Amino acid sequence: MDNISETISLIRHGCNLARELESNLPNLVNQPENLFSISKSLDQIMRVFGEARERVDSSSAAHQDPLSSYVHVAQQKQQIDASLQEWLRCNYTQAMEDQYIQTQRLIAERSSSATPSDMRDSGDQAMDHIITMVSHDMNVSSSSQSRPRRRKDLGEIRKLTVPAPRIGNTEIPPEDGFTWRKYGQKEIMGCRFPRGYYRCTHQKLYNCQAKKQVQRLDNDPLTFEVMYRGDHTCHMSSTAPSTLPPPPDQIKQDNMTQKHAPTTQPLESTWLSMDFNTSVRGSSGGGDGVGTSTATTTRYGKEVEFPVVDLADAMFNSGSSSTNSMDFIFTNTSAENKWESGDKKN
DNA sequence: AGGATTTGACCCAC
DNA sequence: GTGGGTCAAATCCT
């Protein structure tokens, strides 16, 4: 096996690991004792990608002839990009892929007159980008696409497909860390399953316009398609907010940079300040029979404080957050500045 | 009693 | 006119 093939194989292995982790996330995040295995998985993924990247670097450095180096790196980058795009295509939304392709186009434009070292940098950027894509909360620029008009324009729509919980009640979508109040359900033409309409529990108190729609897939009843609209302007906690909501202009500003965390209390700090041993507890009070998957969203019950939902939130909610899901995980489970910087590039 | 879900009716864009 | 999104009264649960 030549070096390129080995590198591609490594990357594919990393993608598989990431895919495996992704499919297990809904269950893992609901069990505090599994957080360590999440951390281990992330470390393993980073190791694999790190090794792949070293191979790319060393390979390009070994080609001293400028022309052959240029061609070699370009070929390698092309194959890597194909792998990344395939992975993205399999795992993420079209919008994400569009964003990825757009970024690649910018990279290509920048490197059209590039030196071999520049090309290597663009390869780094491609590698960085996959982290950014994973970590960037699957946010879609509201100005990038024109949508069919709805009665009320609540802003961008972020779509996620989420597997049903493998344990507990598989009839409900997995927890996403926010508390939602169901306000409607409707049979949709051509769909076997009704669509559920939810809005943020804190809509009235904080004028939080976040909404979501949950639809089971016809061809895969164990998978939910969740569409999020609007951003959370409420406190990110699943419990009653502890601080007063920011003024409207502040809210507007916050929405530009983060989805739900208050400006004074970033998600990271909230998460890191948690004490699992004392804060994590079962869902007995006010649970709805969801079983082990229940974190906060309850039926007829009171919300249960549960720090794990912050992590779940980070993983399952899309939005315009800059401090978000996988980035949040990466930055808190590893000292690899690389992953962090990858996100900050955007 | 308070807060959540259910569900039929209504509104509105297409 | 149709279909999707929302409202709000009724009902349920703690």
Q: Which domain holds residue A128?
A: 3-135
Using a 7 Å CB cutoff, list residues 160-189 of A near strand C: 183-184, 186-189
Same domain, A21 and A127: yes
Q: Which nucleotides of B are covered by protein (CB under 7 A)?
A: 2-9, 11-14
Model pLDDT, residue A173: 66
Rounded, the Å distance between the CA of A213 and C1' of C2 is 21
Same domain, A191 and A316: yes
Let me know if residue A75 belongs to a domain: yes
Residue A254, pLDDT above cutoff 60: no
Same domain, A125 and A172: no
Sheet strands (E) in chain A = 157-163, 180-186, 195-200, 211-216, 223-229
Residue A199, pLDDT above cutoff 80: yes
Q: For helices A116-135 and A35-62, give the axis angle rounded to 10 degrees.
A: 170
Same domain, A220 and A126: no
Strand C lies under 7 A from the Cβ of residue A197: yes
Rounded, the Å distance between the CA of A231 and C1' of B13 is 23
Top-confidence residue, A60 or A213: A213
Same domain, A197 and A131: no
* pLDDT tens by residue, A139-179: 333 333 333 334 544 466 788 888 776 655 666 666 777 88
Same domain, A80 and A120: yes
* pLDDT tens by residue, A309-340: 333 443 333 333 333 333 333 333 333 333 33
Mean pLDDT of A24-52: 67
Let me know if residue A263 belongs to a domain: yes
Same domain, A195 and A297: yes
Highest mean pLDDT among A37-41, A113-117, A139-143: A37-41
Model pLDDT, residue A346: 35
The rounded distance, in Å, linking the Cα atoms of A321 and A339 is 16
Residues near strand B (C-beta below 7 A) are: A 148-151, 179-186, 201, 297-301, 303
The lowest-confidence range among A54-68, A94-108, A181-195 is: A94-108
Q: Which of A181, A113, A134 is nearest to A340 (CA)?
A: A134
Same domain, A109 and A169: no
Same domain, A42 and A115: yes
Mean pLDDT of A65-70: 41
Number of structural domains in chain A: 2
Rounded, the Å distance between the CA of A254 and C1' of C4 is 30
Rounded, the Å distance between the CA of A200 and C1' of B13 is 24
Residue A85, pLDDT above cutoff 50: no
Let me know if residue A342 belongs to a domain: no
The rounded distance, in Å, linking the Cα atoms of A161 and A225 is 4
Model pLDDT, residue A197: 93
Same domain, A274 and A161: yes
Q: Residue A230: which nucleotide is closest by CA–C1'? A: C5
Let me know if residue A275 belongs to a domain: yes
CB A126 within 8 A of CB A80: yes
Let me know if residue A339 belongs to a domain: no
Backbone region of residue A230 per phi and psi (left: phi > 0; alpha: psi in -120 to 50; beta: other values): left
pLDDT above 70 as % of chain A: 27
A177's tokens: 């860390």
Let me know if residue A345 belongs to a domain: no
Residue A345, pLDDT above cutoff 80: no
Model pLDDT, residue A206: 76
Residue A83, pLDDT above cutoff 60: no
Model pLDDT, residue A19: 72
Residue A93, pLDDT above cutoff 80: no
Mean pLDDT, chain A, whole residue set: 53
**Residue reference for tokens 């520049």:** A118
Model pLDDT, residue A261: 35
Rounded, the Å distance between the CA of A341 and C1' of B8 is 52
Let me know if residue A116 belongs to a domain: yes
In which band, very low, low, confident or very high, does the pLDDT at A44 lie, cut at 50, 70 and 90? confident
Per CA to C1' distance, which residue is closest to C5? A151
Q: Residue A215: which nucleotide is closest by CA–C1'? A: C4
pLDDT above 90 as % of chain A: 3
Let me know if residue A110 belongs to a domain: yes
Here the CATH number for the domain that contains residue A170 is 2.20.25.80
Residue A228, pLDDT above cutoff 80: yes
Residue A4, pLDDT above cutoff 60: yes
Mean pLDDT of A68-87: 44
Strand C lies under 7 A from the Cβ of residue A149: no
Rounded, the Å distance between the CA of A131 and C1' of B13 is 39
